[in-house]
């Protein structure tokens, strides 16, 4: 993402499982390292397992700061990560999503289930707009193995995608 030094907090939507490709975990770990090395706080779903655990642990292992936001009913199932600097337990998913959104100025969606898809989609639609999504995803197919490339911009927002070396879409990113 351009001008990473202007971003203070990134929300990462991702799965509580490792996904079907070992590269997903590698990407989560690499993203965590990049965030920490650039002094960018991670806001994420609060779990210690899967891609959630991988990105948060990587941020912590590289000296970064992490805020986890998890609904009470998921604290046991997603094994809430206890070594983070800030853990917020919410009464429900709506409050979790609202706080994740409000506490972040950039958003990344890594592989996962319905939760990351929904959270990432909402961030994209809010910042990019419905009309630009189709063009953005079409552009993603043309990126061929690059990571976090600008796909389209609107005033004050840069939207990009992350793809693996074969050009498969593995993540979405929006920066305010």
pTM to 2 decimal places = 0.72
For 93-102, b/e burial (b = at least 16 CB within 10 A) is eeebbebbbe
Domains of the chain: 8-128 (3.40.50.450)
Q: What is the mean pLDDT of each run of 10 residues along the chain (176 residues)?
A: 63 88 86 90 95 96 97 92 96 92 85 74 62 46 41 44 46 48
């Amino acid at each position: 993402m351009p001008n990473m030094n202007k971003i203070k907090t990134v929300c990462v939507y991702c799965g509580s499982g490792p996904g079907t490709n070992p590269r997903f975990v590698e990407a989560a770990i690499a993203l965590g390292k990049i965030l920490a090395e650039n002094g960018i706080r991670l806001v994420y779903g609060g779990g210690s397992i899967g891609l959630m655990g991988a990105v948060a642990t990587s941020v912590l292992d590289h000296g970064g700061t992490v805020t986890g936001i998890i609904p009470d009913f998921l604290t046991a199932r997603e094994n809430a990560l206890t070594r983070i600097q800030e853990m917020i337990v919410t009464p429900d998913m709506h409050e979790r999503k609202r706080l994740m959104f409000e506490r972040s100025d950039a958003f990344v969606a890594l592989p996962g289930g319905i939760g990351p898809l929904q959270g990432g989609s909402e961030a994209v639609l809010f910042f990019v707009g419905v009309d630009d999504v189709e063009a953005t995803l079409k552009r993603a197919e043309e990126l061929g193995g690059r990571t976090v490339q600008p796909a389209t911009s609107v005033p004050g927002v840069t939207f990009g995608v992350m793809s693996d070396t074969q050009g498969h879409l593995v993540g979405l990113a929006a920066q305010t």
